[in-house]
Amino acid sequence: MSRKVKDIEIDDEFITLGQLLKLAGAIGTGGEAKFYLAENTPVVNGEEDARRGRKIRVDDEIELPQLGKFKIVKSSS
């Protein structure tokens, strides 16, 4: 059974993986990113990457353990 990909809208050219974790609800504050990434390894565009400063851009796809898949889209506003 495949999970639905959830869109995350951004206004800027990119966000960091740490910011994405907060927008996706994986963490409550930016300071929690280091701890989350020590226990979980996100997959960015098919490759494992746990650098919280990783730049995530429009059309990137990210899979977060226990949370599912996300796609970055340009904000319509």
- 1 assigned to some structural domain: no
Give me the count of residues in the chain.
Answer: 77
Strand partners, 57: 14
Q: Which CATH number does the domain housing residue 39 bear?
A: 3.10.290.10
Structural domain for 15, as ranges: 6-74
The SS3 of residue 30 is helix
Q: What pTM does this model have?
A: 0.89
When divided into structural domains, the chain yields a total of 1
- 28 assigned to some structural domain: yes
- 40 assigned to some structural domain: yes
| Tens of pLDDT, residues 36-69 | 999 999 999 999 999 999 999 999 999 999 899 9
